[in-house]
Amino acid sequence: MPLQPVNRRLARMRGNRDERGAVAIVVALAMTTLLIITAMVLDFGLARVDRQTNKSASDAATSAGVYALDGPDGKPRDYQGVCTAIRYLRENDARFAGVTSGSGVWTDGNGSALTDPCGDSTLLQTHICVGGDKSTWGVFTWNGSWEGDPMRVVIQSGYQLAGSGWQEESLLASDQTDDAQGCNQLAVMITENRQPGLGSLATSSDLVTSVRSVGRVKPGPGGDAPAMLLLKRTGCPSLQVGSTAGSSWVKVLGKYSPSTGASQPGTIHADADGSGCSDSVFYGKAASGIVAYAAPLASGAPDPKKPGQITSVAATHGLSSYDSISNVYSSDQVSGTGGAHSAASGRKLVTRKPVDDRYLATVRTAISQAQTSVFGSLTAGNAVASGYDVATCNSNGTVTLPSPAASTKLYVDCSLVKSSPPIPYQTVVFNGGIAPGNPSTISMPNADHVYIFGNSGDAVSLGTGGALSVHANTTTFDSSTGQCMSGVVAGSKAVVFVRNGDLKETGGLLRLCNTTVFMMGGQPDGCLPAGYSDIASAPAPTQTPCAGTTGNGQIKQTGGSVDWTAPNVLDKTMEANGDPTSDALTNWTDPNGPEDLALWDESAGTNNNPAYTMAGGGTFHLQGIFMVPNADPFSLTGNSNLVLTNAQFVVTSLALASNNTTLQMAVDPNATVTLPKLHVVGLVR
């Protein structure tokens, strides 16, 4: 065989062996890389499982904690929320078995050390988060381990999203709503370290996962209904009894509603911040001068979870601008002087906003319609063309009614009506004032809309022997008691508009059954404030809303009897969770008689005298919401024992102006405006 071909074959064989070695090296390197990638995928997969597990745990603990923030008065109890979240985290996931309230570090929002509050049931109930005040916040930090690797848990309330340093803030800026300056939120944050396994071929650093869950609550309706919502922000007193010690007192009882099973404690709130005070925000003057009692159970026994509530803004500042605890106190009993007594406690500024949120748009509509259809356009000259019958008066102010009636609407063309036969019309317009003589009753049993033009003095004036009766008929009037019906009267209600002037009574009888009265203060817009969207811009009392003046149209009832009930077609307006029922939303917004609203009057009084007066010398039967935000004071007098059920006063201040006047009230939250309550929004992170 020739030598040359053999050498060539040998060379090819040597070349093949070299290539096989190169492939082996490549495969070995590839396998190493593949092992590293596989290890990293495995480690990062485990880290991802850690993150998912921790996120589920933090979500659940946050939800439990945020539900616990709310108390019976709607104020955020941040310690209670944090302690509940700790307990839930520990009891529902083995990896957090070591997370106890005593095994971590407690601080406030400023980093100052706190004592573990979770074992103190009184502190959990009484400690309130104050928006923007980090010294009232609760922060719990636990550093421990799970399966030998470090773990950290932080639970905090109050908590603000803005500036927290979490990366997702730039992605969800629209969720950074924090109207309560931290006190509407609770956060659970979990950080876990994991040592890499085979992934240590690539890195020796721990794999770290961090998760955060944030829950939020928001204020809304459904809290306690105060018998008195006192809007004075500076100066004192907001509420006071008569000057003779012990002969004048205010007692607000709790209320149980058999039809709904709802109950609430006796409640009084004052927006006074304690500044400018030379005496007390609540001035009882003698033992048990002002008392709020506990809510009753169905059995009549006191509900231990719902003691009486007397609150003010001043107490949130730690100001002691109160009468002694023996004179002014909240009780854990349903009546009497026994049991535990508590001093007035703190609640942030409420303002008139809860009332405005419910009614202001409706009142604006009602007054606008009255101005457009009657006060701004209707005259004696066009009344007939507008579908009205027209009545006139003789020189003595006595009305002569048309006969037979051609319409359901009547225009009374008299400057001052002093007497009239019963007026059977549904809509009645008075082109002047009303002043029934002695004896005379101006009665409108079928009226559902009454318009009084009035004058700059007294639009309505009642004296001895005179009476004004609106909407008192067989449906709304209880002949057995001689008063407007106290219960539900479905489908029968009325409205009265007073364009100009006061409602004055020195004697006689004022009877308004299932009726809302709008006092317009001499202005076409009823002196209503402009709309607003937040509590900070809610109008303060002592404003001058009536075209820059204080307006007219006050209640000046210094004698006689009052029998006045608001429209009440619903027995239930609140669901068990405090949300309004659909029927309530419909009836609150009815301008032809808003549910439960008895009076709306923005006037601060002529001659810079903002006092309103209602005397109880005779019959004194009031039910409904009396919205008189500039009454300073709303004065109840009459040397008698006033017992009011489901009457609520929203005023600048309230006073019992005579030494022997006593006032007992009980308010059903289904018939009045409630204070804000914390409602759970849910998880926002």
Average pLDDT of span 518-529: 93
Q: Are 668 and 643 in contact, with CB atoms under 8 Å apart?
A: no
183: its two tokens: 């006190």
Residue range 224-250: mean pLDDT, rounded: 89
Q: In Å, how far are 10, 12, 27, 380 from 16, measured between CA atoms?
A: 10, 6, 17, 121
Confidence class of residue 642 from pLDDT cuts 50, 70 and 90? confident
Whether 62 contacts 85, CB under 8 Å: yes
Residue with token string 């929203």: 650
Q: Are 176 and 122 in contact (CB under 8 A)?
A: no
The total of other beta-carbon atoms located within 10 Å of residue 29's CB is 10
Amino acid 69: pLDDT: 86
Per-residue pLDDT, 117? 93
pTM summary value: 0.80
Distances (CA, A) of 229 to 86, 253, 271: 37, 15, 8
In the block, tokens 């003691």 appear at 307
Distances (CA, A) of 444 to 395, 412, 472, 604, 646: 22, 13, 8, 29, 25
Over residues 385-409, the pLDDT tens digits come to 999 999 999 999 999 999 999 999 9
Mean pLDDT of 507-513: 95
What single letter denotes the amino acid at residue 489? V
Is the pLDDT assigned to residue 113 strictly greater than 90?
yes
The whole-angstrom separation of Cα 366 and Cα 492 is 17
Q: Identify the DSSP state of 188.
A: E
The H-or-E segment that residue 126 falls in is helix 121-126
Q: What percent of the chain has pLDDT over 90?
A: 54
Q: Tokens at residue 174, please?
A: 């629209």
DSSP per position, 195-253: --SGGGGT--SPEEEEEEEEEEEEEES-S---SEEE---SSS-SEE--SSTTT-EEEEE
Mean of pLDDT over the chain: 86
Q: What is the pLDDT of residues 313-348, one digit of tens each?
A: 888 777 655 788 999 999 999 999 999 999 988 887
CA 275 from centroid of its chain's CA atoms? 24
Whether the per-residue pLDDT at 31 is higher than 70: the answer is: no
pLDDT band at 349 (very low <50, low <70, confident <90, very high): confident
Report which residue type is found at 617.
Answer: G
Q: How far apart are CA 652 and CA 233, in angstroms?
A: 8
Give the Cα separation of 49 and 332 in Å (integer). Answer: 50
| 364, amino acid identity | R
- Asked if residue 589 has pLDDT above 60, the reply is yes
Question: What is the C-alpha separation between 522 and 499, in angstroms, rounded?
Answer: 6
Cα radius of gyration rounded to whole Å, the chain? 35
Left, alpha or beta for 465 (phi > 0: left; psi -120 to 50: alpha)? left
Query: Which of 432, 417, 426, 427 has the alpha carbon at shortest distance from 379?
Result: 432
**What tokens were used for 102?**
């005593």
Please give the pLDDT value at position 565: 96
Give the DSSP letter string of 467-520.
EEEES-STTTEETTTTEE--S--TT--EEEEE-SSEEEESSSEEEESSEEEEE-
Q: Cβ(497)–Cβ(450) under 8 Å?
A: yes
Among 306, 302, 297, CA closest to 261: 297
Q: Residue 89 pLDDT > 80, yes or no?
A: yes
Q: Is the per-residue pLDDT at 350 higher than 70? A: yes
Q: E strands along 354-465, which residues?
A: 389-393, 399-400, 409-412, 416-417, 427-430, 433-434, 440-444, 449-452, 458-462
Q: What residue ranges in 513-607 does DSSP mark as E strands?
A: 515-519, 555-557, 561-565, 597-601
Identify the helix (H) or strand (E) that includes residue 33.
Answer: helix 3-68
> Is 46's pLDDT higher than 60?
no
Q: Which of 580, 676, 673, 646 is nearest to 360 (CA)?
A: 673
Angle, alpha carbons 78-84-86 (nearest 5°): 105
Q: How far apart are CA 591 and CA 359, in angstroms?
A: 9
% of the chain residues with pLDDT over 70: 85
**Tens digit of pLDDT for each residue in 540-586?**
776 667 777 778 889 999 889 999 999 999 988 988 777 889 999 99
Residue 522 confidence (pLDDT) above 50: yes
Q: pLDDT value at position 269?
A: 95
- pLDDT of 1: 44
Q: Name the amino acid, one letter, at 160.
A: Q
User: Higher-confidence residue: 541 or 85?
Assistant: 85
Q: What is the mean pLDDT of residues 250-274?
A: 90
Residue 41 has pLDDT above 60, yes or no: no
pLDDT tier for residue 465 given thresholds of 50, 70 and 90 = very high
> What's the pLDDT tens digit per position in 119-141?
988 888 778 888 778 999 999 99
